[in-house]
Amino acid sequence: MKSALPEDTHPPKGAERLDHFMARAAAAYYAARDPFQDFTTSPEISQAFGECLGLWAAVTWQAMGRPNPILLVECGPGRGSLMADALRAIAEMMPDFRAALRVHLVETSPLLREAQAAKLSAAAVTWHEDVAALPEVPMILLANEFLDALPIRQFIRRGASWCERFVMHGAFIELPSDVGWNHDAPEGAVREVNEPAQHFAAWLGARLARHGGAALLIDYGPAESAFGDSLQAMRAGQPVEPLSAAGEVDITAHVDFAAFAAAARAAGAITHGPLPQGVFLQRLGFMTRAAMLARLDPARAQAQLAAAHRLTAPEAMGRLFKALALCDASLPLPAGFETS
């Protein structure tokens, strides 16, 4: 994307491009705090989430022709709950896959790496700062609420052109930009661009095409690219002003699934979805598993069923959250992505 400031425009002292601000805020936040005090995620709400994703990976491994070894990668694994639940389900249902897989985690936060090491102490785990360091063998990659944490740029329609939003003294300022989009956008429309997500999609698409495998990305955002300011922040479970307390609040943005999928396809992968999370999980047998967990532990039955409802109901996380699959061209339709 051509998006430098016009040559005669210099940001005022103290002004920071939004993605630079967000990257700095996110690094400080994840390095120093337990983010789960501020928000919760699907693997923390129900163990059936990680179990279903683990079985999705197992079925995908079968479809790949059971390569050995294979990497089971997770990006942004948080407390390690998704991987722990996935590995338990895999060991029970498909021990051959458990024996063939190598767990690789991509995580930048030292604090969260400690939590992951404690949760996954029974497994051999390799950590990486960046996906580029992953060994060059077939892989299945999982990521839940990883893309939403990557920093975005925001452009705003002013007259016949676009300005870019910078942060200064905790508020937005706008500087002229020379992005050449000729969208028919109304005055004041905001367009977001997630450059790290685009690079990640291109890397992933090429990597899957080269060595084989699949990826499952679950996050929240619209199915089609849309205008709008989706920057948001959470503190102690409550929405707060995103520019106010950099490093002390969790800042995220909606994921542009259409742009992500297009970048992955351009690099050689096949994409499926995005599908609403509720539909995807139900197709994987999530409700059956949740009902079984409720029966096994009557004291927590109500909580189990409430958690299952929260993840699948359209008015809760079932519709805004979406699942997107990326596959190498040799793979059949992945589980849960049947069109009918």
Q: Which is nearer to ligand SAH, 43 or 336 (CB)?
A: 43
Our finding on whether 144 is near ligand SAH (CB under 6 A) is yes
Comparing CB distances to ligand SAH, the nearer of 129 and 184 is 129
Name which of residues 73 to 112 contact ligand SAH (CB under 6 A).
Answer: 76-78, 82, 106-109, 112
Q: Are strands 321-327 and 213-220 parallel, antiparallel or unpaired?
A: antiparallel
Closer to ligand SAH by Cβ: residue 71 or 82: 82
* Pairing of the two strands 139-144 and 70-75: parallel
CA separation for the pair 307, 72 (Å, rounded):
26
User: Any alpha helices (H) in 181-314, and if so which ranges?
Assistant: 195-211, 257-266, 277-283, 286-296, 301-312
* Per-residue buried b or exposed e for 81-90, using 16+ beta carbons within 10 Å of the residue's own CB: bbbbbbbbbb
Between the CA of residue 15 and those of 20, 153, 169, what are the distances in Å?
A: 10, 14, 8
Task: Based on the shown chain and the rule CB under 6 A, indicate whether residue 145 belongs to the binding site for ligand SAH.
Answer: yes
Phi then psi for 173, rounded to 5 degrees? Answer: -125, 160
Tell me the window of 144-152, 161-169, 253-261, 299-307 that interacts with ligand SAH (CB under 6 A): 144-152
CA dist 87 → 57, 233, 295 (Å)? 10, 32, 22
According to the binding rule CB under 6 A, does residue 273 interact with ligand SAH?
no
Residue closest to ligand SAH, measured at CB: 76
* Interface region with ligand SAH, contact rule CB under 6 A, candidates 4-12, 35-43, 58-66, 233-241: 35-43
Q: Answer whether 255's CB lies under 8 Å from 226's CB.
A: no
Tokens 């084989």 label which residue?
212
Q: Which is nearer to ligand SAH, 29 or 166 (CB)?
A: 29
Q: Mark 197-236 with x for binding to ligand SAH (rule: CB under 6 A) and - for no binding.
A: ----------------------------------------
Least distance (Å) between residue 107 CB and ligand SAH:
5
State the Cα–Cα distance between residues 60 and 253, nearest whole angstrom: 29
| Residue 256 interacting with ligand SAH (CB under 6 A) | no
Binder of ligand SAH out of 21, 38, 41, 104 (CB under 6 A): 41
Size of the site for ligand SAH (CB under 6 A): 19
Report d(CA 286, CA 48) in Å as an integer. Answer: 6
The answer to the question of residue 47 lying near ligand SAH (CB under 6 A) is: no
Sites of contact with ligand SAH (CB under 6 A): 26, 30, 35, 41, 43-44, 76-78, 82, 106-109, 112, 144-146, 149
